[in-house]
Amino acid sequence: MSIFGAYLRGVLRIRLLLLLAVVSAQCFAAAVYTYKVVATYPHSTSSYTEGFFYLNGLFYESTGLEGHSEVLAITPATGKPVQQISLAPNYFGEGIVDWGPNILGWTWQTHAGFVYDRFSFRVVGQFKYDGEGWGMTRTDSEIITSDGSSTLRFRNPRTFQETHHIVVKDGTRAVDQLNELEMVRGEIYANIWHSDRIARISPKDGRILGWIDLSGLLPDDQRVNSESVLNGIAYDAKGDRLFVTGKQWPKVFEIKVLPKS
Ligand code: DDQ
Ligand code: CA
């Protein structure tokens, strides 16, 4: 065979390998979804959102930053709190979750968790844990927590002890910076800190089933600074309504998730 023929065969082989690499990456990386805004609600631009859920007609929100951390119950239509409690100024508030008549809430780097009465907003208990506190959500029987790594921990709601954990991956790539969480139709939705994307995660094995790309939802000129990021997912299971907001964002958005066309 001529030198030219060998050269052509080499080029073809490289092209084929490249094509295979691109095709397999597309097969194994999760699909990307987009969104449509169906309603908006007011949100306080002083709320540095770290925890967010919906229950029986109210938003429950926890906010961070030392000296500004609160847990609030909010009327969606007005954005005004109907209940609130401030954390001591040494605490940076993080995720919250409802459990029976209580709300559990924790703090970023101070290993302090609190049990609130959901109706009076009084502190009725405290707990400790190792590592950082970031997001919280729940299944019917367990609490799920994030800590900024790619690991999500399942915990006994009464002892807060870990029962098992999963590592979140997109194909073979571990994805970290998992922040605010929400259980939505059997999937764990997770904000990725400093990103406009929400990961849709299988609670069974941590596999990322899809990404929701929320870029453009709140334009940069409506964000107070570079920390004013998407964080906060709430779900009304009865009404099948999905709400998202961010740190010091002026609005909560009710969105529908759509395939990217
Ligand atoms: N966490 O939400 C990722 C867990 C913690 C965020 C901490 C960000 C502190 C930045 C302070 C900036 C003050 C404007
Ligand atoms: Ca949430």
CA neighbours within 13 Å on the CB side: how many for 114?
25
- ipTM, two decimals, is 0.93
Q: Closest Cα to atom 3, ligand 1: which residue? A: 193
Closest ligand to residue 144's CA? 2
Residue whose CA lies nearest to ligand 1 atom number 12:
227
pLDDT tens for 105-122 read 999 999 999 999 999 999
Bridge pairing between strands 230-236 and 208-213: unpaired
Joined tokens for residue 252: 């909560």
Whole-number Å distance, alpha carbon 74 to ligand 2 midpoint, is 14
Name residues whose C-beta falls within 8 Å of residue 149's C-beta, 6 or more positions apart in sequence: 176, 178
Question: Does ligand 1 lie within 6 Å of residue 196's CB atom?
Answer: no
135-180 per-position pLDDT tens digit: 999 999 999 999 999 999 999 999 999 999 999 999 999 999 999 9
Q: Give residues whose Cβ lies within 5 Å of ion ligand 2.
A: 52-53, 182, 233
Pair type for strands 241-246 and 230-236: antiparallel
Label the pairing between strands 197-201 and 208-213.
Answer: antiparallel
